[in-house]
Structure 1
């Protein structure tokens, strides 16, 4: 099996007209009243989330920013401390663009959406932001539509209000700065929902901020990245099978010859850089192993 994990086609994604303006407002705001967005015209509970921008060398200071749709909710003393933190080179800032926690109808939401603020004149961060906004907005809309369709079918087939009372969907969106050093950013956005069944997915954005370009496997591992990754992944699959009798991978171990499994990485394979700067290949649920194995990740050491 050769899963297509979807190339991050930044160039094809239009940037919303007011996205840059909204990002600028979020960064500039020093009072929670400066920016306030409604969420589906409901009474909501907002949370302000802290997001440190990680740097590999602890001695090197990094930008640390607290933000959300309600704006920066910080004390004057804390705001003053933020201004003292140096910004190194073309270091970008990763902010919380929208943060919401509450219940809307039958959906329990825990949503934290990031935005990347790059150096002036850099185009790629804006395109990444547009893609993240598109991803998260579509994910929420599809989840709600899916639940509404299921609810309609539930009552159409004789379900009662009492039986439906405890049926809610939990929807989760969050992000994590996996690596930020020497103007290289690896950002992970997680989407997950749970109701009839649980599902989780990782979405990665790897940016060379200095070159204003998407970072590729070839950039990090060289022209032989396919051979390097394939050999390492096969070795690690076999190690995991040997170490855990409950482990399973399509096409390996007891499943060998029965169905297609992992064969090769491609330029579209999802990856990120970890805190040590190592490449981590990430395979979605069900792509190379049964759902019970979850998302499978492999650290590649050349």
Structure 2
């Protein structure tokens, strides 16, 4: 943020001031007031300069108006910060929980609802950890590791995609994530449904994911996905609540937590959907292209 403001300042300083406006300001500064106290003199000069600038701007030529319009203004800055962080170590166990917060949205209802949700998730995670510690017998080690944080996956002029992840180790390991994608221009939260004309996208995306799964398994015998005809492990496909985000290249990415689409050792898995596969079903190409 500081760098952006510095860049804007440098750009502003390098922008030439129209000669007509410069002459008006200089004339105001050079004019001597008659018997004005020092403080009043400063106020008078400032006011006179401001009035003359306004007057000049009304009568300036199109060229001057164009030059004035080129002077950059500081736009709102939407960013993600660490709101609070918990660090706990006890009985050979540890928890590191970082809670994000989105700032800079004019839509405070959206901003507050997201931040309240993030804080509630972190509090619940911390409570689960401390509850687990409280059930240990004296001298017993928990051997529990919890790490929770966030990543900014995409941040451009149009969208902000944020991932909140939690890695847990207790006998076995698991990774869970949740994603939020915000339209920064309209300040609304994007859903999977909102990107498409109708629900035909579900079948199209499911078919593409299964194709990718089979291709990956054919190329790498160490990869296993649940695409076999077994009701207990068969990949059931996605629905409208599926985890997703839009990456920096403007591609739709479907994300699965541990055990949702593959055995635990595969961890969390993701599939980038080729835009050509879903282009006819998209509402538009503003987000995905």
- TM-score bucket (shorter structure): 0.5 to 0.7
| Cα deviations by residue, 1:174-213 (Å, 9 ceiling, x for unpaired) | 1100111233111001112223222221111111233232
Q: 1:85 to 1:114 in 2, by over 3 A?
A: farther
Matched-pair contact (CA < 8 Å) for 1:94–1:115: yes
Q: Number of residue pairs matched?
A: 210
Q: 1:296 to 1:230 in 2, by over 3 A?
A: same
Q: Which runs of 5+ in 2 are unaligned?
A: 9-72, 276-289
Are 2:207 and 1:231 aligned? yes
Matched-pair contact (CA < 8 Å) for 2:82–2:99: yes
Counterpart for residue 145 of structure 2? 170
Separation in structure 1 between the aligned mates of residue 5 and residue 187 of structure 2, nearest angstrom: 25
| Cα deviations by residue, 1:70-90 (Å, 9 ceiling, x for unpaired) | xxxxxxxxx6x5642559755
Matched-pair contact (CA < 8 Å) for 1:217–1:225: no
Which of 108, 127, 130 lines up with 1:144 in the alignment? 130
Matched-pair contact (CA < 8 Å) for 1:90–1:209: no
Alpha-carbon distance, 1:241 to partner? 1.5
Counterpart for residue 299 of structure 1? 272
Larger radius of gyration: 2
Alpha-carbon distance, 1:239 to partner? 0.8
Separation in structure 1 between the aligned mates of residue 77 and residue 194 of structure 2, nearest angstrom: 20
Q: 1:121 to 1:205 in 2, by over 3 A?
A: closer
Alpha-carbon distance, 1:102 to partner? 5.1
Q: CA RMSD in A?
A: 2.5
Counterpart for residue 17 of structure 1? none
| Cα deviations by residue, 1:1-42 (Å, 9 ceiling, x for unpaired) | xxxxxxxxxxxxxxxxxxxxxxxxxxxxxxxxxxxxxxxxxx
Alpha-carbon distance, 1:298 to partner? 0.5
Mapping for residues 56-135 of structure 1, pairs under 5 Å: 63=1, 81=3, 83-84=5-6, 89-101=75-87, 103-104=89-90, 106-135=92-121
Counterpart for residue 243 of structure 1? 219
Separation in structure 2 between the aligned mates of residue 241 and residue 278 of structure 1, nearest angstrom: 23
Q: 1:231 to 1:82 in 2, by over 3 A?
A: same
More helix by percentage: 2
Matched-pair contact (CA < 8 Å) for 2:97–2:126: no
Separation in structure 1 between the aligned mates of residue 75 and residue 158 of structure 2, nearest angstrom: 8
Are 2:177 and 1:202 aligned? yes
Normalising to structure 1: TM-score of the pair?
A: 0.62
Alpha-carbon distance, 1:120 to partner? 2.8
